[in-house]
Amino acid sequence: MCIGQLGNLLPHVTLSANLAQHLMPAWGLSAAEGGLMASGYAFGYMLAVPVLTTLTDRIDARIVLLCGSIVSGLATAAFGFFAEGFWSGTIIWSLAGLGFAGAYMPGLKALTDRLPAGDTSRAVTLYTSSFSVGVGLSFLVAQILADRWGWRTAFYVTGVGPIAMVLACLLIEGRRPAPKSGRLLNFAPVLANREALGYILGYGAHCFELYGIRTWLVGFWTFVVAHQGGPSWMTPVLMSFCFAVISMPASILGNEAALKFGRHRAITVVMIASACVALAIGLNATAPAWLLALLLMIYGLTVPADSGALTAGMSAAATSEHRGATLALHSTVGFGLSALGAWGTGVALDIAGGPQSASGWLLVFIVLAAGIALGPLALVWARRGHSGKRPS
């Protein structure tokens, strides 16, 4: 399942990896338009995931996963063939996000349905943290292909990646959920589960920060190289790849810290640290490249370190009969705020001077810091309202 997910994630940041250097100049887009186009992926995901993930409470999640993977791959390739500007690009990229809505959380549901009873937090964390390796490969492959053969080729090739999950779906055994009646989109039991809801809202803050920095990481380092120089090997390709890949051990270690020191405490410390690092990067946007590279690598550790702990906490807090609906709300909130993070940081960049302005990047990182700083508040709210009993 983790290997299949790497294939499904190969298209994930193909647009973001080529946004500042290729797509915005080619189509004359502002940062706000570029951010909005990138957020189309998260928006399409947000619209589809409530139905597709909740559906896994009624049919085998493997079926949803298979269909979502196919749609994701076809839509990514279609971007390379048919996208000609802001509107066509946004619509097609939204379809790719819609397909991924059937590929990520339904994949987690397909995995957890097949795990033995007991604590599954390490398996869930391995699955969620492999997300980071997939994103790193997406950054790497998309930029190398675009630089050598054009950005359209990057979309053609990364669109083939989801075939790996299609093969994984064909290899795992089928499983039929117990028959279930009632409305498909019934989130009332999830909203009543304040413990799970706290993790869901915290995940939303995490996604706002994560998608915001992923959308503009290549653009920011392009600014650094243009104004501060630095070693020739310290390219946007290398920086974005390293930033994404170190997320996997960070997420695993973050969950281990949560198991040892307490989930709320560990997540809160990570979120506050991440906000501080974001502010440090923004305030030092004109510092030497080596210092910014160091700060970005630290940020690459703090941004994802709460991800596995948040998702594992949500999964543990969810009641078994409403796990699909809980996963659906988790993803809906997360990717809804992902879309807001990509667009909001683009707007901030335009307001404060654009991609070639240090003040523009300062405001971007202030927005990111403010977003993640809201996460601990959600956890405090959940703890104060949690009576110690899970809702039935």
Give the model confidence (pLDDT) of 74-90 as tens digits: 999 999 999 999 999 99
Instruction: Find the radius of gyration of the CA atoms of the chain.
Output: 20
pLDDT of residue 391: 38
- For residue 389, what pLDDT band results from cuts at 50, 70 and 90? very low
Average pLDDT over residues 196-213: 94
* Sign of the CA dihedral with 183 first, then 107, 117, and 328 last: negative
| Listed residue (310, 305, 365) closest to 341, CA to CA | 365
**Does residue 54 have a pLDDT over 80?**
no
Separation between Cα atoms, residue 306 and residue 254, nearest integer Å: 6
Average pLDDT over residues 379-392: 63
Residue 70 region by backbone torsions, left for phi larger than 0, else alpha for psi between -120 and 50, else beta: alpha
Q: Are 272 and 376 in contact (CB under 8 A)?
A: yes
Alpha-carbon separation of residue 293 from 21, 24, 236, 280 (angstroms): 19, 24, 11, 12
For the chain, what percent of residues have pLDDT higher than 70? 94
Give the chain's count of helices (H) and strands (E).
20, 0
Domain boundaries, given as residue ranges, for the chain: 2-173+189-385
| Listed residue (267, 266, 237) closest to 138, CA to CA | 237
Q: Are 378 and 202 in contact (CB under 8 A)?
A: yes
Q: Are 306 and 267 in contact (CB under 8 A)?
A: yes
Give the model confidence (pLDDT) of 267-287 as tens digits: 999 999 999 999 999 999 999
Q: Are 333 and 105 in contact (CB under 8 A)?
A: no
CATH number of 2-173+189-385: 1.25.40.20, 3.50.40.10, 2.40.40.20, 1.20.1250.20?
Answer: 1.20.1250.20
Q: Cβ atoms within 10 A of the Cβ of 113, count?
A: 15
Separation between Cα atoms, residue 141 and residue 347, nearest integer Å: 28
Query: Any residues with CB less than 8 A from the CB of 144 and at least 6 apart, and which?
Result: 237
Q: What six digits make up the tokens of 389?
A: 């009993």
Query: Any residues with CB less than 8 A from the CB of 207 and at least 6 apart, and which?
Result: 42, 333, 334, 335, 337, 338, 341
Separation between Cα atoms, residue 48 and residue 55, nearest integer Å: 11
Q: Are 310 and 28 in contact (CB under 8 A)?
A: no
Average pLDDT over residues 200-206: 95
Separation between Cα atoms, residue 165 and residue 148, nearest integer Å: 27
Give the model confidence (pLDDT) of 227-268 as tens digits: 887 778 889 989 999 998 888 788 888 888 888 888 899 999
pLDDT of residue 185: 66
Average pLDDT over residues 183-203: 84
CA 205 from chain centre, in angstroms, equals: 11
CA 231 from chain centre, in angstroms, equals: 30
pTM summary value = 0.83
pLDDT of residue 198: 92
Give the model confidence (pLDDT) of 148-186 as tens digits: 999 999 999 999 999 999 999 998 887 766 556 566 667
Give the model confidence (pLDDT) of 330-378 as tens digits: 888 998 999 999 999 999 999 999 999 999 999 999 999 999 999 999 9
Query: Any residues with CB less than 8 A from the CB of 116 and at least 6 apart, and which?
Result: none
Query: Any residues with CB less than 8 A from the CB of 84 and at least 6 apart, and which?
Result: none
Q: Cβ atoms within 10 A of the Cβ of 33, count?
A: 21
Q: What six digits make up the tokens of 39?
A: 């957020």
